[in-house]
Amino acid sequence: MFLLQRRCASALSAPFQLRRYTQSAAAALVDDDSNPESFPRPELKYDETILAVPRLTSCKSIAAKEQKAGPVPDIIFEQEDGQHGGNKRLISFRTNQIRKLLNHLGRSFFLSRLFHLEVRSDFDADDVVEKVRVLPRLIHLHSSTDAPLNVTFIRAPSNALLKVEIPLVFRGDDISPGLKKGNNNLQNFAIYLKNLCSVQWEFKIIAKKVIEFPDRLEDKK
């Protein structure tokens, strides 16, 4: 849970001011945490299993050839003992599938969402070499076309604690004094929070209360 804490005691004695809010702004004040359907969720058609095939070598020339041919070179590993390889497996994805997920979710939400991954001997084969749940860790895009060049995934078993950059979603920005003062400067701030959390968590934080400088959000787990 996240609580709002006022750090400046003098602000408490400031006189109240009446504000006229729009209908949509007033609706944002309603505490709708009990209705999870009110929060934005990805479409079910994008909740798909990512398909991959084994890649035999990590040579840069081979990876470059794969990029030109279509498949996206990738690495999947475990967080534990990652500095020593972390049970690394070299694989390749289809470019179109990764591009579709990026276009729908955006880069920040793609890197903070769990996916099911199946490694098969061939893209059209039925035999499954490995089936695991994963979290995207890194992705490199082409500087001019934004085409995915390579992706790094980390295995995410149900008992794992993973380091995640959780995206921030701001709601009620037309009634929050702090967000109104920030205006376009919000684009210069970090739009995610780094956190160590269970894979059972939904990786998203929504700041929807009426916050004012110098208020702050605190993690009170």
The domains of the chain are located at 44-157, 158-221
The CATH number for 44-157, chosen from 2.40.240.10, 2.60.200.20, 3.10.20.30, 3.50.50.60, is 2.40.240.10
pLDDT surpasses 60 at 18: no
Residue 145, phi then psi, degrees to nearest 5: -105, -10
Tell me the three-class secondary structure of 61-124, residue by residue: HHHHHHHHHCEEEEEEECCCCHHHCCCCEEEEEEHHHHHHHHHHHCHHHHCCCCEEEEEECCCC
**Interval 73-125: pLDDT, tens:** 888 888 766 555 567 889 998 888 899 899 888 888 888 888 999 999 888 88
pLDDT at 120: 92
Residue 119: predicted pLDDT: 92
Q: Is the dihedral of CA 160, 162, 167, 171 positive or negative?
A: positive
Q: What is the pLDDT of residues 164-207, one digit of tens each?
A: 877 776 666 565 666 566 555 555 455 556 666 666 555 555 55
- Give which of 75, 218, 101, 79 is closest to 161, Cα–Cα: 79
Residue 52: the pLDDT is 92
| pLDDT reported for residue 183 | 53
Q: Regarding beta strands 115-120 and 192-198, do their DSSP bridges make them parallel or antiparallel, or are they unpaired?
A: unpaired
